Structure 1
């Protein structure tokens, strides 16, 4: 009986320690990756502002070939939405809406995840002319996690994984645009 009590108190103490640690782990996650593409800014911007074009370079849009996709609104304009539904756990169900556009400069998105968990996040793409035929593209992501999910995301390395996926998508985009 004494052993059982020690085991239970140890488990309780460990759980309490984890919750205390989670209290001090940042709840915000900001990831940003960039690539330079050898094409004029207008050409790059016109391509990346179209949600349907993300099917060609976004890692998440290529994970599940059976994923169902739907589009609403005029692609490449504020209010355009891509919806996806997949049974693959790395994709799930959700939608992405263009919420802001500064022509040849920036596109802002709101991501609404439904499954495997419900949350929202913000993403953006910035295009910056570095010369007449060169464009720096920055793809960014911002989210806030609820306590104690912030610790879970830190432990599984979500920020690094997301950064790697953004960079992979940008590298694919560069390859496609420079063909």
Structure 2
């Protein structure tokens, strides 16, 4: 019995030491940035990104929980407009336009209220590129200790979501250009 208690104490002590080390080495700031070339003019890509009625169709939150409720507040596509969502799986949150520079940049604030309270800065940058528009989607967040451990483990999932979201944006923007060409011919 004494040996069992000794081993148990050692295991608990190692777990606590590992947790303390993680708290100290896990970054408190997280930066994610992903880009994609979309074969569409900046106006088509902009329309899919700046308007929440279209954004909510390609963003990965809807894919994670199709039954989630989405709402748009304010004048869609303008500074101050926001989209909120609520769902059992994706929680409760809001994305708000802070500033929009047409066909160049969108700055947003992302807030999660449930299950974890967090705030992040989001930026979309659009640049003319040979054959289309280069879109760069970035996020900057700060996680105070002990939330920094969660941020460290979430980063890989967020990178995957950004890549998937950009591919869905690419499909939506390129399809809208193709549909427009069909209508005009």
* TM-score scaled by length of structure 1: 0.88
In 1, distance between residues paired with 2:161 and 2:150? 19
- 1:113 aligned counterpart, secondary structure: strand
CA contact (8 A) 1:23 1:148 kept: no
Matches within 5 A, 1:88-127: 88=89, 91-127=90-126
Matches within 5 A, 1:15-26: 15-26=16-27
CA contact (8 A) 2:100 2:107 kept: yes
Q: 2:181 matched to which residue of 1? A: none
Q: 2:41 matched to which residue of 1? A: 40
Aligned-residue CA RMSD (Å)? 1.8
Q: 2:170 aligns with which of 161, 169, 174?
A: 174
Is 2:161 the partner of 1:165?
Answer: yes
* Residue segments in structure 2 that go unaligned for 5+ positions in a row: 176-185
Is 2:136 the partner of 1:138?
Answer: yes
CA contact (8 A) 1:54 1:61 kept: no
- 1:121 aligned counterpart, secondary structure: strand
- 1:39 aligned counterpart, secondary structure: coil
In 2, distance between residues paired with 1:161 and 1:2? 43
Q: Which structure's residues are more often helix, by fraction? A: 2
In 2, distance between residues paired with 1:87 and 1:55? 17
* TM-score scaled by length of structure 2: 0.85
- Deviation (angstroms), 1:148: 2.4
1:140-175 CA-to-partner distances (Å, cap 9, x unmatched) read 111111212322443x4x212111111111111112
In 1, distance between residues paired with 2:127 and 2:172? 18
Aligned length: 174
1:109-149 CA-to-partner distances (Å, cap 9, x unmatched) read 11111111111111111111114x51001111111112123
CA contact (8 A) 2:31 2:140 kept: yes
